[in-house]
Amino acid sequence: MYGYVRPVKGELKVSEYERYRGVYCGLCHELSRRYGFLARFLVNYDFTFLAMLLAGDERQQSCPRRCAAHPIRKTQCLCHTESLAAAADMTVILGWWKLADGGEDKRPPLCWGYKLACLLLKRAYKKAAGRQPDFARAVEVDLEALRRLERENCPSLDEAADKFALILRAIGQGLPEGAGRRVAEELLYHLGRIIYILDAADDLPEDEKSGAYNPLRFRFRQENGRLTAEDEKTLRAGLQLSHNALAGAYALMEENPYGPILSNIIYLGLPAVTQAIFAGTWKAPAKYHRERRSI
Amino acid sequence: MNDPYSVLGVSPQASDEEVKKAYRDLARKYHPDNYHDNPLADLASEKMKEINEAYDTITKSREQGGGSSSGYSYGYGGSAYQSAGQRQGAGRAQYVQIRNLINANNLAQAESMLNAISEHDAEWYYLMGSVYWRKGWMDQAGQYFRTAATMEPGNVEYRNAVQYMNQGGQAYRPAGGGDMMGGDMACNMCQNLICADCCCEMMGGNLIPCIGCR
């Protein structure tokens, strides 16, 4: 996905960082175990967050494993749990649709790469969709609606963001009915909104040049590929309101084994990423590594 | 009821100060101002009630010689969230009905009733903004609130809504937590402190209704 949902590493305890890495590696191994080697490349920070968020009260155990990225020293990975498996399923579903999207959006030769990846992962996708049929359907329907809005150059930021937010919200639909699910769905909805809007802000300069659809281009005024100061303020105030809603829902969640890491991501990580995107340092090549490592 | 100490997350051996601090922290977290017009407000209010009860139980059980009643507990004043609809005496009967629908979280019907009204005055824009707000469509909500405030600059309710949006609202954040606005953090922390300590009418008007310290 996008990688906007990540902790500020410097503010994690060493033990928390190791657990976080364990979930990331665990998700990667789970992807490989369930869907084959290629599916590993779909692992991402956003779904690592979701795997932790949905961890519930299952026992979280770690086991040492070797992989291509860590061939010599084994890393401590989170062992198989139900929620980790579900996170892997959803990673494949959303990842595949994103590749399919890229295959249609990008220009050749880039789009061929996407199409090939799509083809290679088709079987994995079918398997994942069979395991999470409701989520697969939600993704398909909402992404189609989003594509339609994009074709029509939808001027409403909220309407476009709503479609993506609904996809994330659908992750919560597997939870048992009740207050816990309501809270999770509200949190996921606003997380989806924030991711979509951050992505739009991140891509704005490029989209401005290439003329691709970007909701911000139609909603706000720009100068030299950037929003005017006043509009940026309005946009960020809107992001803040969504973040408030997210934080409000998070405060109501049941206790979670990854509480401190989740808090770091929500209260520190998201604001830091937002700051970097609006400062223009998120994508800057020279600073690429330094910036990202510090977050 | 659950063990009051575990509700506050302190040990039964904790000092009065520690209990009070734990209570204040939690009260700040679940404060009604953080859940204004929020679909989860009912859950937050339950939580708040639980915390208040736990704190009351502890202070009462510890109150032997001193007899100092705590005298302060944060609360969700019964109908604070429904206040919006009542004071629009002069408004159209329909608007009152729509306000009630919005407060009952029946957004689909409120929206379709609004769409059926062809003449759009300031109140219409304000209510449409409220519908969007509840849906979580913050950007659109802001645009409608602003239109309402421009059409009727004298209206305090509309103006407060706009101000609230522009400031990025209000929410609980732990000390040191960042925000999305890129403004200075001190200001945000300050807001939280003010909110925890006085909680009354900090922004005024109805969008953050006065909940009051009981």
Same-domain pairing of A119 and A69 = yes
pLDDT by position in tens, chain B (length 214)? 578 898 998 888 888 899 999 999 999 999 988 888 888 989 999 999 999 999 999 988 887 544 444 444 555 443 333 344 444 444 578 899 999 999 888 999 999 999 999 889 999 999 999 999 999 999 999 999 999 999 999 999 999 999 988 888 888 888 778 888 876 444 444 444 444 343 333 333 333 333 333 3
Same-domain pairing of A4 and A119 = yes
- Residue of chain B with shortest Cα separation from A198: B180
Q: Could you report the predicted ipTM of this complex, rounded to two decimals?
A: 0.81
Mean pLDDT in residue range A161-186: 92
Q: Which secondary-structure segment (H or E) carries B123?
A: helix B122-135
User: What is the phi/psi pair of residue A227, to 5°?
Assistant: -75, 155
pLDDT > 60? residue A99: yes
Q: Is A275 domain-assigned?
A: no
- Give the residue among A179, A173, A180, A214 at the shortest CA–CA distance from A197: A214
pLDDT > 90? residue A287: no
Mean pLDDT in residue range A277-291: 65
Token duo for residue A237: 């105030």
Q: Is A271 domain-assigned?
A: no
- Give the residue among A186, A164, A159, A249 at the shortest CA–CA distance from B132: A159
Same-domain pairing of A4 and A123 = yes
Same-domain pairing of A3 and A109 = yes
Same-domain pairing of A114 and A99 = yes
* Model pTM score: 0.84
CA distances from A17 to A12, A14, A260, A265, B211 (A): 6, 5, 10, 12, 41
* Structural domain containing residue A36: 1-131+284-295
Same-domain pairing of A1 and A121 = yes
Q: What is the pLDDT of residue A284?
A: 60
Same-domain pairing of A106 and A183 = no
Q: Which residues of A fall within a CB distance of 8 Å from B167?
A: 237
Same-domain pairing of A103 and A219 = no
Q: Is A265 domain-assigned?
A: no
Same-domain pairing of A148 and A33 = no
Gap from B178 CA to chain A (nearest CA, Å):
5
Q: What is the pLDDT of residue B152?
A: 92
User: What is the phi/psi pair of residue A15, to 5°?
Assistant: -65, -35
Residue A62 or residue A140, greater confidence: A140
Which of B49, B135, B139 should be substituted to probe chain A, the one whose Cβ sees the most A Cβ atoms within 10 Å? B139
Q: Is A259 domain-assigned?
A: no
Tell me the residues of chain B between 53 and 92 that have a Cβ less than 8 Å away from chain A: none
Same-domain pairing of A28 and A139 = no
Same-domain pairing of A15 and A123 = yes
Mean pLDDT in residue range A120-146: 91
Q: Is A161 domain-assigned?
A: yes
Q: Is A289 domain-assigned?
A: yes
A228 touches chain B (CB under 8 A): no
Q: What is the pLDDT of residue A164?
A: 94
Cα–Cα distance measured from residue A3 to residue A49, given in angstroms and rounded to the nearest whole number: 10
DSSP-assigned letters across all residues of A106-125: SPTTHHHHHHHHHHHTHHHH
Number of domains in chain A: 2
